[in-house]
Amino acid sequence: MKPTKTQFTRIAIIDKDKCQPKACNYLCHRVCPPVRMGEDAIEIINSKNYTPPIINEELCTGCGICPNKCPFGAIQIINTGVKFSEPIHQFGKNSFRLYSLPTPEKGMITGIIGRNGAGKTTAINILSGNLIPNLGEYEAKGDISKVIDYYKGKNIQKQFIDIKNKELKFAYKIQKVEEIPKLFDNKIIELLKQITNDEQKLEKIVKDLDLEKLINKKTSQVSGGELQRVAIAATLLKDANLYFLDEYTTFLDIKQRLKIAKILREKLNENNSIVLVEHDLAILDYVSDYVQIMFGTKNAYGLSSNKKTTKKGINEFLEGFLKEENIRIRNHRLEFSGIKATQNKTSNNLVQYPKFEKTLGEFKLKVDSGKINKAEIIGILGPNATGKTTFIKVLAGEIKADNKEIDTKLKISYKPQYIDIDKDLLVSDLFTEKGIDVDLFNSEIRNQLDLEKIIFQKIEELSGGELQKVAVAYCLSKEADLYLLDEPSAFLDIEQRVIIANVIKSVINKKEKSALIVDHDLLFIDYISDRVLLFEGKPSVNGHAQDITTIAQAYNKFLKEQDITFRQDPDTKRPRANKHGSQKDQEQKKENKYYFTI
């Protein structure tokens, strides 16, 4: 696909689920200027049955009137600014279309970066042989021989030949691991045994992914992070030549993310390839051989960039401009400058807490003394199950420390890692509750998080990313002194992560309140935090909350433990992991400079 700037492709999408001609009496048709001039830019096909209209893209002038007038927000008109050739696959007239595919390569890990809704699921289905692309002829069924012809002379042709000859073995790790118990609610060992009888292989993956204590539990009895590891194990146990892992880092702490990155590299050989869709850029950067960027407009169209080196691909994605393709994918750059806005910051103390300990059954938490300032965001870094929530509960006076009364009288607003909001409520119901700062919600949160489109939707209808945004908005809109947000980046793509970080920063600054942010995305924590609190320990056995330090000090300590060094990318200023054993890695280790700013 080589776009030129001579002719533009205009894309018209009608969401058939939202379109209600009976209620609007085809308003779009009545207001369309070309229709008024006698051109069939919008056609009504069957008014008796109130079927949705169709928009003929070649006759539409892109005036933008119908999407604005449609009372149900069912129309999108996109002037792409470039001319595309025919799509690889189109689902129907005025429906989503995919223009190009990522291209996995044997012995390599391909990282896919991009927006949610840009067609990665369609691409996975095509590359795995579950969907034979129709090459844009949406009224016909896909024909694999035509596809093979279409890709003549390209590396990816072999993929389709293998699909035709049924020689492609494919393994896929689903994105929504929390749905596994609905599909298989039995012992985890039974799930894994369904995949292989090879005892040795089974034993190794159970050990590698620390599943020993879980295998005799049912899938419904384990946490999201544990389910994630089970899903990864089930995927890697398969004897496949294409592995596809969709967001493997969700619910995993950094140690686990890095450990699995190493396991993935071990899995590679000359006969297989791995494709990762990932929004944690530090991990993607660390593990991928090259990246491809999937971009487009949500639910309208998507395409994949050419292959790029990991550095170049991530930098171009952040910049919002793909050089080789000469395409702007965003009109602003995403910043990970690490430069902290110090204006409005005060050193006014919100809370000073003493050294304390807390025992909960077999688990023991040790906390060093510390101080949190007003208008300050403290990033919390460390393994899961080392006492982060216990720490907060003690500060809030919800539970007592061992032999000590520490009631700070702080009012806490908490967004848990696993969001549990009544599924029958409408989003709008949450923001009319008592204790909600409605003015703040309307002025600082609602628009920035783009909640307008979903404000009257039911909680149960929201996607993972939408639910995350609603939960963050709900937490920040409550009247409180201290906001605790546990994994606010989960299920969000990179652009959404930057937006959510900016909203948290602006609310905390404006209200002069404080926030503790637990997250495992190193770039996110680096971007959002003023200082960092490091937790160490053995999950579910013991935890140690150290004193709050600068980001550089905390990262240096944490990365040293993981035996990884980070340098700074000169163009985007983002932290980049050095390849293990590289010259830079060795130099930094010698200087005890695991994080570049130390």
21 touches ligand SF4 (CB under 6 A): yes
Choose the binding region for ligand SF4 from 26-34, 227-235, 290-298, 321-329 (rule: CB under 6 A): 26-34
CB 379 within 8 A of CB 551: yes
Query: Smallest distance from the beta carbon of 261 to ligand SF4, in angstroms?
Result: 45
Phi, psi (deg, nearest 5) at residue 313: -60, -45
Taking residue 324's Cβ as centre, other Cβ atoms within 10 Å add up to 11
* Contact between residue 233 and residue 243 where contact means Cβ atoms under 8 Å apart: no
Amino acid at 597: T
Which is closer to ligand SF4, CB of 62 or CB of 142?
Answer: 62
Interface with ligand SF4 by CB under 6 A: which range of 18-26, 135-143, 407-415, 569-577?
Answer: 18-26
Q: Pick out residues in 49-88 that bind ligand SF4 (CB under 6 A).
A: 52-53, 55, 60-66, 70, 72, 74-75, 77
Residue 442 tokens, joined: 């309307």
Do residues 490 and 446 lie in contact, with contact meaning Cβ atoms separated by under 8 Å? Answer: no
Site size toward ligand SF4, by CB under 6 A: 28
Could you tell me which residues are beta bridge partners of residue 303?
Answer: 295
The residue from 20, 540, 542, 568 that contacts ligand SF4 (CB under 6 A) is 20
Q: Which residue has the tokens 């960039």?
A: 305
Using the rule CB under 6 A, is 322 a contact of ligand SF4?
no
| 32 makes contact with ligand SF4 (CB under 6 A) | yes
Nearest approach in angstroms of CB 414 to ligand SF4 is 40
Residue from 3, 11, 13, 28 touching ligand SF4 (CB under 6 A): that is 28
Q: Are 84 and 99 in contact (CB under 8 A)?
A: yes
Query: Which residues, 33 to 52, sit near ligand SF4 by CB under 6 A?
Result: 33-34, 41-42, 52
Q: Which residue's CB is nearer to ligand SF4, number 37 or number 339?
A: 37
Neighbours of 28 (CB within 10 A): 26
Report H helices in 21-179.
Answer: 21-24, 27-31, 33-36, 65-69, 120-127, 144-150, 157-164
CB of 17 to ligand SF4, least distance (A): 11
Helix, coil or strand: residue 399: coil
CA-CA distance, 490 to 492, in Å (whole number)?
5
300 binds ligand SF4 (CB under 6 A): no
Nearer to ligand SF4, 96 or 286 (CB): 96
The least distance separating ligand SF4 from the CB of residue 8, rounded to whole angstroms, comes to: 13
- Report the residue number, 70 or 501, with the smaller CB distance to ligand SF4: 70
Residue number with CB closer to ligand SF4 (8 or 72) = 72
For the stretch 588-593, contacts whose Cβ atoms lie closer than 8 Å and that sit 24 or more positions apart, written own/partner, are 589/565, 592/556, 592/560, 593/556, 593/565
Could you list the residues that contact ligand SF4 (CB under 6 A)? 14, 19-21, 24, 26-28, 32-34, 41-42, 52-53, 55, 60-66, 70, 72, 74-75, 77
